[in-house]
A and B are shown apart, each in its own frame.
Chain A
Amino acid sequence: MKKLLILGAGTAGTMMLNKMESVLDKEEWDITIVDQYETHYYQPGFLFIPFGIYNRRDVIKPKRDFFPPGVNVIFSKIDLIEADKNQVILDGGKVLPYDILLVATGTKINPGETDGMMEGGWHKNIFDFYTVEGAVALQQFLKYWEGGKMVLNIVEMPIKCPVAPLEFVFLADWWFTEQGIRDKVEIEFVTPLPGAFTKPKASKVFGEFLNKKGVSLTPEFSAGRVDWENNKLVSWDETSIDYDLLVTIPTNMGDDLIARSGLGDELNFIPTDKFTLQSQANDNIFVIGDATNLPSSKAGSVAHFQADILQDNLLSYIDGKPLKGKFDGHANCYIESGFGKGILIDFNYDTEPLPGKFPLPGVGPFSLLEETRMNHYGKMMFRWMYWNLLLKGAELPIESHMLMAGKRA
């Protein structure tokens, strides 16, 4: 029996497990997936927790619910990938040999990378919302907060879901309004980027939204440390920003396993061919989702578009044929903008987000780069699609490759 080994049962790993299970010959292939945690988190839902729209129970399900029958499931920590021996060592020493390794170990926040971040202020008046613990702690804090200055800071790029920080301040503006304390809250968006977002046209549009919502924008700020005793965020060149509440998007890094195994770059992301998703160092190692070093967004929609292409490429690889599938960097993001509205963007490596209608040209029902109620419904409906279709590897009515139809350049 040949062995396909998948490391990580998050969004990308679970999708690939289902996709490969449906196409590989069971007489010939043995499929194993390994993850250390038994709970699957709907990560796009974390954003809503601080504002009490979702709670913990709304974003979790057992991972087992999404595994097809007939595959091997191992819940264990992973000690090492030994690429030169085509094997993986689990904690405790169990050895898993593989013919093809698929790495989907994702990315996580590393607040400890910034001096002072995890000291006295952590989860007192400094919070993240990229973990369920952080999001729940922030909900508890906001419930009783009477106002002051809230700073949202992105420490450094790249980060998972680059639009989430914008969504957070849009929702905060709405939520403080609902609570009747908007006039007592100052909101500042502090980013290392030159503007509100990475791509010029969208950056301009989002910059205008920030302005409209009374959020001040501080670009090109590279956070070096947190002076938590004096509630100051300090840049590497010693500019400081006062806060009463700091909502941080800490440094994002790939799993330590990748560093231990000598497979990663300085952020533990795996150098990966940006079109084929094959690792640059090893022909029989493929990488998907947030674990790659691709210049595309780290987001579930991106992993989903990658999964279609990777399935084709894995089958070609097994047949000894050239890898024809070419990922184009496609990302599609529903951006919650507060007051029951949302904005939608759709882009890839070469084409920045443009206005238009989506997915049906001229029809929609969604509008690109515009704020509409329908876009908000798309966002809220997505949770159902995620649990019921996306994770199970089902086809969604959106093309893997970005389409120009319906867009205005």
Chain B
Amino acid sequence: MTTKELAGISVDVDAEGFLTDHKVWNLDLAAAIAKEEGIDPLTDRHVDVLNFMRKEFEENGTAPSIRKMNKLNVVPTKELYALFPGGPAKKAAKIAGLGKPQGCI
């Protein structure tokens, strides 16, 4: 675990840059992480997805899958890939301040 300066505050992140405490998250932090991931600016559409992911995480303890967000009409899979290019499950979870998604088996 290392400490890192993001959006003017210092936060703890793991080796891959995921926040270790999802409670410190806010939109400024999200924008800063997004920028590092090559997403700038963070649009309302991004924020909708991030908020949904955080709500699911609070309720179930895990981030929702891409399939679940598609099924619940949060965001169609195609659009999700356009919003978070190159691996939305991992990238969106990182920007949402959640841990790295559980790899499967």
Partners in one complex: yes
The residue from A193, A222, A266, A298 contacting B81, defined by CB atoms under 8 A apart: A222
Nearest CB of chain B from residue A279's CB, rounded to whole Å: 15
A116 at the binding interface (Cβ < 8 Å): no
Contact check, B105 vs A237: say whether CB atoms are below 8 A apart. no
The bracket for how many chain B residues form the interface is 10 to 19
Q: How many residues on the A side are at the interface (Cβ–Cβ under 8 A)?
A: 19
Asked if A86 is an interface residue, CB under 8 A from chain B, the answer is no
- B105 to A266, Cβ gap below 8 A? no
Does the CB pair A198–B67 fall under 8 Å?
no
Given contacts A220-B87, A265-B68, A266-B71, contact A236 B81 (CB under 8 A): yes
A267 to B105 Cα, complex, angstroms: 15
Taking CB atoms, residues of chain A closer than 8 Å to B38 are: none
**Do B81 and A158 touch (CB < 8 A)?**
no
Indicate whether B103 reaches chain A with its CB closer than 8 angstroms. Answer: yes
Contacts of A198 in B (CB 8 A): 103-105
- Give Cα distance in the complex from A169 to B86, angstroms: 26
What 0/1 readout, one digit per residue, does chain B (69-105) give for beta carbons within 8 Å of chain A?
A: 0010000011011100111000000000000001111
Whether A295 and B67, one on each chain, are in contact in the complex, defined by CB atoms closer than 8 angstroms, is: no
Q: Is A157 an interface residue (CB 8 A)?
A: yes
CB–CB B104/A237 < 8 A: no
The residues in A between 156 and 215 inclusive whose CB is less than 8 angstroms from any CB of B are 156-158, 162, 193, 198
The answer to whether the Cβ of B65 comes within 8 Å of any Cβ in the partner chain is yes
A222 to B104, CA, bound (A): 14
Interface of A, helix, strand, loop or mixed by DSSP: loop
Q: Say yes or no: B85 contacts A237, CB within 8 Å.
A: yes
Q: Report the bound CA distance from A193 to B103 in whole Å.
A: 8
Report if A216 contacts B (CB, 8 A).
no
Beta-carbon contacts of A134-166 to B below 8 Å, as 1s and 0s?
A: 000000000000000000000011100010000
Tell me how far the C-beta of B39 lies from the nearest C-beta in chain A, rounded to whole angstroms.
Answer: 14
B105 and A297 within 8 A (CB): yes
Kindly state whether residue A43 has any CB partner on chain B within 8 Å: no
Task: Mark B16-46 against chain A: 1 for CB-CB distance below 8 A, else 0.
Answer: 0000000000000000000000000000000
Q: A156 to B87: give the CA distance in the assembly, Å.
A: 13
Q: Is A284 an interface residue (CB 8 A)?
A: no
Q: In the complex, what distance in Å separates the CA atom of A297 from the CA atom of B105?
A: 5
Q: A222-B81, A237-B81 are in contact. Are A266 and B67 (CB under 8 A)?
A: yes
What residues on A are CB-neighbors of B102 within 8 Å? 295
Question: B105 contacts A295, CB within 8 Å?
Answer: yes
Question: Which residues in B have their C-beta under 8 angstroms from that of A156?
Answer: 67
B85 to chain A, nearest CB (A): 6
- Contact surface of B with A, Cβ cutoff 8 Å: 65, 67-68, 71, 77-78, 80-82, 85-87, 102-105
Query: Sorted from nearest, which 3 A-B pairs have the closest CB atoms?
Result: A236-B81, A157-B104, A266-B68
| 23 intermolecular pairs with C-beta atoms under 8 Å apart | A156-B67, A157-B105, A158-B104, A162-B104, A162-B105, A198-B103, A198-B104, A198-B105, A222-B81, A222-B87, A224-B77, A224-B78, A224-B81, A236-B78, A237-B81, A237-B86, A265-B68, A266-B67, A266-B68, A295-B102, A295-B105, A298-B105, A331-B105
